[in-house]
C-alpha cells in the first residue's frame, strides 16, 4: 500500500466507501450492438456542445444595444447592428479558432437532434420502452422537447435576419393562441416585438435553464438504464432474466470513451470543412428584409412545413374574437398530436397487449407489425412536413411549381402515412411468414436433386438450433377477448363496456398476426413430407399475457395473418 495510486484509492475509500461502487460497476455487463450506440452519439454530441458552448460564451455578448460594425468583413462595415450580432462576427472573424468552435457548436446541435431521433427510432421499433422502461421513455421524450428548445433558443441568439424572421413567426404563432396570445407575446419579448429584452432572455434560457434541465434529465436517463440494466437483442442464451455482453471495465471504458472522441472528431471534421449558419450573409436583424429560402434548422422544419401546407380559409371570428385556426392547427394541433402519440405510445400498447411482465429481450420489428407500421407512418408524416418546409428549394432544384408541390403535399400528409402503415404491416407479416417457412423447411440450398421417378426437388438445409431460436423465440401475442357480459348468475358485470373498448383496441393491434413455429408444427412438417399444411389452431387458450381475468385470448388460427 505504498504506491501513490493505492494511497489515493485508500484515501478516497476511507471517506466515500468508493471500493464498493467500483466493485459493483466496473464489471457491470452491457450488451454489444451498434444500435445501442445511437444514444451515445446524442450524449457525446451534447458534451461537445457543452465544451464548444462554454468557449463561445467567453466572446458572445447577449445584448441588443445598437453598435456600428467596424471589423474586417467588408460587406458589413458601417452597418448598425445589435451587440449580439457584432460579437458573433467578432468571435467568428477575429477570435482565432472562434469560427471553428462556432461551427463545431452548430454542427453538434444538428447531430444532437438527429441522433436523438434515431435513438428514439431504435427504442421504439425494438420495443425497448416496454415495462419496466416506460418512465425512461418519457424522460427521453422530454429530452427531445428540451433539445428542440435548446436548438431554437440557440440559433436565434446571433440576432440575424434569418433567425429574426423565425422569431417573428414564433411571435405570430404565439399571438394566435386564444385569449392569452397577445399577453404571451408581451411576456416573451418584454413588450412589443422585437423589443430589446429578447436576446438576453434567450441567452439565459439557452446557457442555463435548458442545458441544466438536459443535464439533470440525462443523469436520470442513464441512472434508469443502470437500474434496469440494458436491454438485449434476442439470441441463444439471452433471456429476460440475464444480460449478456461485455464488462464496463475495460471493454466499455475503451469503446464508449473512444466513441466520444470519434463523435467529437467527426463534428470537428465537419466544422473544418463545411460552413454552417453564415450569419454575415444574412446580416443583422431588421424587420423589413427577408431572404428567399428562409427556413429553420432541420429539426424545426416540420413545424414550418405544417404552416406552409395549411390552407388559410379556416381563420374564424366568433363574437368579434379572432381564432386563427390556420395558424393554430399546423403550429399547435398537428405537432401536439404527433408528440402526444409518441409520448403515450408505451402506455397505449401495454393497455392493448394486457401485459404486465418485465421485458428485457427486444422485439424484432417484424414481430410487432402494428407497432412497426405505426412508427413508420409517424416518421412518414414527419418527413412529408419536412418536405413541405423545403418546398421552395424543391421547386428550384427540380424545376417544379411551388404551388403544385404544396397541393401534392397537402394530400400526401394524409395519404402517405396511411399507405406507409399498410405497406409496412404487410411487409412485417410477409417477413414473419418467411421466418416460418425457413424454420419449417430450412435454407434454400441451391442444389436440385432428381429422383428416379423424375420428380425434382430442391434440397433444403435445415437450421441449427441457434438459427432457429432467433426465428421462434418471440411469444405469440393474441388480441384480448371479452368475457361474457353476464356472470354465471345472469348479472351484468361492471366494466363490460370498458373491456369491450379495450378488446377492440387490442384487435387493432394484434388481429393480423403470424405466430412463430411451435415444436409440434416443426415435427409435423418433417413427418408429412409435404409442406405448408398447418396443424389445427390451438383452441381455448387461456390468457397468454398476464392481463385482467375478464379478458381471454382470441383463439384464431396462427399463421392466419390476413
Partner 1 sequence: MSDDLELRDTADQLPDRFENPGFPPHEQRRGDVDPRANKFSERIVVALFAVSILGTIAMIAAYFAFPPGETAASMQRSNLAMGLGLAFALLGIGTGAVHWAKSLMSDHEVAEERHPLRSSDEVRAQAVEVLKEGAADSAIGRRTVLKGAVATSLALFPLTIVVPLVGNVGGDWDVASFKRTMWKKGTRLTTDPLGRPIKAADVTIGSITSVIPEGLEETAHPLDEKAKAVVVLLRLDPRDLKIQPGREDWQYDGIVAYSKICTHVGCPVALYEQQTHHLLCPCHQSTFDVADGAKVIFGPAKRALPQLPITVDTEGYLVASSDFTEPIGPSFWERLR
Partner 2 sequence: MNWLAAHRHDRRAPLLLLLTALLLTGGVYALLVPAPAVAASTASSAEVDSGMKLFTANCATCHGTGATGTAAAPSLVGVGAAAVDFQVGTGRMPAQMSGPQVEAKPVQFDQDQIAALAAYVASLGPGPSIPTGDQVDPAQGDPATGMALFRTNCAQCHNAVGAGGSLSQGKFAPSLWQTTPTHLYEAMLTGPQSMPVFNQATLTSQEKRDIIAFVSEQGGTQPGGLSLGSIGPVSEGLWAWVVGLGLLLGAAVWIGAKSS
Site residues for partner 2, window 173-212 (CB under 8 A)?
none
Query: Contact 99/119 with Cβ under 8 angstroms?
Result: no
Shortest distance, position 258 Cβ to partner 2, whole Å = 8
Containing 317, the helix (H) or strand (E) segment is strand 315-318
For partner 1, give the closer residue by CB, 181 or 354.
181
Shortest distance, position 502 Cβ to partner 2, whole Å = 39
For partner 2, give the closer residue by CB, 202 or 267.
267
Containing 258, the helix (H) or strand (E) segment is helix 253-273
The three grid cell numbers given for residue 201, joined into one nine-digit string: 432572455
Among 237, 446, 454, 540, binds partner 1 (CB under 8 A): 237
Shortest distance, position 506 Cβ to partner 1, whole Å = 21
Contacts with partner 2, 250-269, as mask; x by CB under 8 A: -----x--xx--xx--xx-x
Cα–Cα distance measured from residue 493 to residue 455, given in angstroms and rounded to the nearest whole number: 62
Residues 475, 479, 480, CA angle at the centre, nearest 5°? 110
Secondary structure of 42-68 as H, E, C letters = HHHHHHHHHHHHHHHHCCCCCCCCEEE
Please choose, from the candidates 307, 296, 29, the residue with its C-alpha nearest in 3D space to the C-alpha of residue 166. 296
Contacts of 501 (CB under 8 A, 6+ apart): none
Tell me: does residue 402 bind partner 1 (CB under 8 A): yes
Tell me: does residue 101 bind partner 2 (CB under 8 A): no
Secondary structure of 217-230 as H, E, C letters = HHHHHHHHHHHHCC
Options 150-158, 234-242, 414-422, 499-507: segment touching partner 1 (CB under 8 A) = 234-242
Cα–Cα distance measured from residue 165 to residue 145, given in angstroms and rounded to the nearest whole number: 22
- Residue 102 CA, chain-centre distance (Å), reads 26
For partner 2, give the closer residue by CB, 110 or 207.
110
Among partner 2, partner 1, none, partner that 423 touches (CB below 5 to 8 angstroms by kind): none
Contacts with partner 1, 191-230, as mask; x by CB under 8 A: xxxxxxx-----------------------------xxx-
Among partner 1, partner 2, none, partner that 55 touches (CB below 5 to 8 angstroms by kind): none
Cα–Cα distance measured from residue 234 to residue 36, given in angstroms and rounded to the nearest whole number: 14
Tell me: does residue 65 bind partner 2 (CB under 8 A): no
Query: Contact 485/556 with Cβ under 8 angstroms?
Result: no
Burial 389-423 (b: 16+ CB within 10 A, else e): bbbbebbeeeeeeeeebbebbbebbeebbeebbee
**DSSP one-letter string for 112-157:** HHHHHHHHHHHHHHTTTTSTT-HHHHHHHHHHHHHHHHHHHHHHTT
Tell me: does residue 240 bind partner 1 (CB under 8 A): yes
103-132 binders of partner 2 (CB under 8 A): 103, 107, 110-111, 114-115, 118
- Residue 274 CA, chain-centre distance (Å), reads 26
Options 135-143, 293-301, 462-470, 489-497: segment touching partner 2 (CB under 8 A) = 293-301
Tell me: does residue 353 bind partner 1 (CB under 8 A): no
The three grid cell numbers given for residue 124, joined into one nine-digit string: 421504439
Among 111, 113, 128, 173, binds partner 1 (CB under 8 A): 173
Among partner 2, partner 1, none, partner that 390 touches (CB below 5 to 8 angstroms by kind): partner 2
Among 62, 140, 164, 389, binds partner 2 (CB under 8 A): 389
| DSSP 8-state class, residue 331 | I
Tell me: does residue 118 bind partner 1 (CB under 8 A): no
Tell me: does residue 96 bind partner 2 (CB under 8 A): no
The three grid cell numbers given for residue 140, joined into one nine-digit string: 427521453
Shortest distance, position 320 Cβ to partner 1, whole Å = 5
Tell me: does residue 469 bind partner 1 (CB under 8 A): yes
Contacts of 337 (CB under 8 A, 6+ apart): none
Contacts with partner 2, 486-505, as mask; x by CB under 8 A: --------------------
56-95 binders of partner 1 (CB under 8 A): 72, 93-94
Shortest distance, position 296 Cβ to partner 2, whole Å = 6
Tell me: does residue 380 bind partner 2 (CB under 8 A): no
Contacts with partner 2, 390-419, as mask; x by CB under 8 A: xxxx-xx--xxxxxx---------------
Amino acid at each position: 500500500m505504498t504506491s501513490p495510486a493505492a494511497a489515493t484509492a485508500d484515501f478516497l475509500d476511507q471517506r466515500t466507501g468508493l471500493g464498493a461502487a467500483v466493485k459493483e460497476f466496473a464489471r457491470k455487463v452491457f450488451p454489444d450492438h451498434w444500435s445501442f450506440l445511437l444514444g451515445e452519439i446524442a450524449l457525446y454530441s451534447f458534451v461537445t456542445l457543452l465544451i464548444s458552448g462554454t468557449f463561445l460564451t467567453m466572446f458572445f455578448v447577449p445584448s441588443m444595444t445598437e453598435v456600428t460594425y467596424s471589423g474586417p468583413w467588408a460587406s458589413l462595415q458601417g452597418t448598425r447592428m445589435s451587440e449580439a450580432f457584432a460579437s458573433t462576427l467578432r468571435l467568428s472573424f477575429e477570435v482565432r479558432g472562434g469560427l471553428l468552435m462556432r461551427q463545431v457548436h452548430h454542427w453538434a446541435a444538428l447531430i444532437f437532434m438527429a441522433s436523438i431521433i434515431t435513438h428514439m427510432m431504435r427504442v421504439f421499433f425494438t420495443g425497448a420502452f416496454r415495462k419496466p422502461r416506460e418512465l425512461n421513455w418519457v424522460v427521453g421524450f422530454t429530452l427531445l422537447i428540451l433539445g428542440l428548445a435548446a436548438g431554437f433558443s440557440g440559433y436565434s441568439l446571433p440576432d440575424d435576419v434569418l433567425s429574426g424572421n423565425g422569431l417573428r413567426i414564433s411571435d405570430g404563432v404565439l399571438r394566435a393562441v386564444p385569449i392569452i396570445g397577445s399577453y404571451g407575446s408581451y411576456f416573451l419579448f418584454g413588450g412589443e416585438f422585437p423589443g430589446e429584452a429578447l436576446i438576453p432572455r434567450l441567452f439565459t434560457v439557452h446557457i442555463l435553464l435548458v442545458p441544466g434541465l438536459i443535464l439533470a434529465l440525462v443523469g436520470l436517463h442513464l441512472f434508469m438504464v443502470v437500474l434496469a440494466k440494458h436491454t438485449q437483442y434476442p439470441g441463444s442464451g439471452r433471456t429476460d432474466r440475464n444480460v449478456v455482453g461485455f464488462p464496463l471495465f475495460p471493454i466499455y471504458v475503451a469503446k464508449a470513451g473512444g466513441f466520444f472522441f470519434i463523435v467529437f472528431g467527426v463534428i470537428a471534421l465537419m466544422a473544418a470543412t463545411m460552413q454552417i449558419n453564415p450569419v454575415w450573409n444574412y446580416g443583422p436583424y431588421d424587420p423589413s428584409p427577408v431572404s428567399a429560402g428562409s427556413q429553420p434548422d432541420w429539426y424545426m422544419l416540420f413545424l414550418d412545413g405544417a404552416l406552409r401546407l395549411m390552407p388559410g380559409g379556416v381563420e374564424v371570428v366568433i363574437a368579434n374574437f379572432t381564432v386563427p385556426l390556420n395558424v393554430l392547427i399546423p403550429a399547435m394541433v398537428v405537432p401536439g398530436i404527433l408528440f402526444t402519440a409518441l409520448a403515450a405510445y408505451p402506455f397505449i400498447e401495454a393497455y392493448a397487449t394486457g401485459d404486465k411482465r418485465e421485458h428485457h429481450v427486444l422485439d424484432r420489428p417484424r414481430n410487432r407489425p402494428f407497432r412497426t407500421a405505426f412508427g413508420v407512418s409517424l416518421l412518414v408524416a414527419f418527413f412529408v412536413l419536412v418536405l413541405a418546409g423545403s418546398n421552395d428549394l424543391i421547386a428550384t432544384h427540380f424545376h417544379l411549381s411551388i404551388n403544385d408541390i404544396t397541393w401534392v403535399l397537402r394530400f400526401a400528409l394524409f395519404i402517405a402515412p396511411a399507405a406507409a402503415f399498410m405497406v409496412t404491416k404487410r411487409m412485417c407479416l410477409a417477413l414473419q411468414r418467411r421466418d416460418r417457412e425457413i424454420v419449417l423447411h430450412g435454407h434454400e440450398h441451391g442444389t436440385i436433386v432428381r429422383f428416379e421417378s423424375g420428380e425434382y426437388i430442391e434440397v433444403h438445409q435445415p437450421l441449427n438450433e441457434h438459427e432457429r431460436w432467433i426465428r421462434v423465440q418471440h411469444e405469440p401475442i393474441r388480441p384480448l377477448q371479452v368475457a361474457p357480459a353476464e356472470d354465471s348468475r345472469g348479472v351484468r358485470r361492471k366494466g363490460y363496456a370498458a373491456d369491450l373498448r379495450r378488446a377492440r383496441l387490442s384487435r387493432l393491434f394484434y388481429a393480423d398476426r403470424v405466430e412463430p413455429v411451435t415444436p409440434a408444427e416443426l415435427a409435423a412438417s418433417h413427418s408429412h413430407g409435404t409442406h405448408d399444411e398447418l396443424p389445427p389452431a390451438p383452441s381455448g387458450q387461456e390468457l397468454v399475457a398476464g392481463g385482467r381475468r375478464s379478458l381471454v385470448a382470441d383463439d384464431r388460427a396462427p399463421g392466419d395473418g390476413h
